[in-house]
Amino acid sequence: MPLDKTIQNILASRSTRTTPPLHKLSPMQARENERMGRNIFEVPTDCTVYDRLVPGMQGLLTARIYTPKGPGPFPILVWFHGGGWVMGDLELSQTTPINLCTNANYIVASVGYRLAPETKFPGPVEDCYTAANWIRDNAIHLNGIPNKVSIGGSSAGGNLAAAVCLMTRDRGNPNFSFQLLVYPVISSDTNTESYRLYSTGYGIEKADMDWFIKQYFNDEKDLLNPYAMPINAVALDKLCPAMIITAQYDPLRSEGEAYAIRLQNANVPTDYICYPGMIHGFFSMTDILGQSIHAVNKSAEKLISISKG
């Protein structure tokens, strides 16, 4: 399918900017540019929002808790934002938690994990593992249902969510109910079909991904670790059910599809949806894209189904 017309306009607008490309910036400059483009956040009326401290690998982290209206208790989705492990924060990443909270009637706990390069691998993923398992073990204190806790994330957050599911299985903890992976980073291989087709000009670029990887990982040996790149896991059996969402014009599309196939071959119930005409980042564009609304609704439907299972 051709590139969506709204997406074409977004990319054309981005191409006229005079700021240097992301991979030419320092992490601090990249974060500042991201903050400058921040939209004014409006407090939602159909869910309550508050921050609380949760444990991480080496100290307390902030989790932003989105709770639906009503008495509860509710199922919980632990969410990890994107940003290449370097950017993003709880303020910038509120659209998807609110959408999933209100559409699926879930508590969404968005975890503010530590960022690279100040905290290199495995610090951020260990933060996410510690926080997610604490939230599940203490679900009742959040007005949640202890045996109905799912996990998810987008882009680098999808990488963290997939890795946390592997870590939870490998370390003998109870599985989460479900994993929602939205255009996740699953592999460091940039020679895939989607990278060859869409490495430049479609939002996120190969040079940007190389830059993110350089910031997060200590050396090439890290990239072989399945908790760094989940495609490297020897076995994917005994993981929780999954939904993987990708975009046609996203360089990360091929690795998301490959991971879905591997999960299915390991007899893990897995839904895979690739949205035609879309680019990386479309999932949060519900204010302008019908495909985004559809993707959020499909995710919410799956979460609701999982909570009733």
- Tell me the per-residue pLDDT of 27-81, one tens digit each, with 9 for 90 and over: 999 999 888 866 655 667 789 999 999 999 999 999 999 999 999 999 999 999 9
Sorting pLDDT into bands at 50, 70 and 90, what band is 19?
A: confident
- Residues designated catalytic: 155, 250, 280
How far CA 192 is from CA of 148, 195, 223, 228, 229, in Å, comes to: 36, 5, 16, 18, 15
Alpha-carbon distance 169 to 164, whole Å?
Answer: 9
Does the pLDDT value for residue 18 go beyond 80?
no
pTM of the predicted model, to two decimals? 0.97
Q: What angle separates helix 95-104 from helix 290-308, to the nearest 10 degrees?
A: 50
Summarize pLDDT for 202-219 with one digit per residue, the tens: 999 999 999 999 999 999
CB atoms near residue 235 (< 10 Å):
12
Does the pLDDT value for residue 278 go beyond 80?
yes
Report the chain's mean pLDDT, rounded to a whole number: 95
Domains and CATH numbers, the chain: 5-16+23-308 (3.40.50.1820)
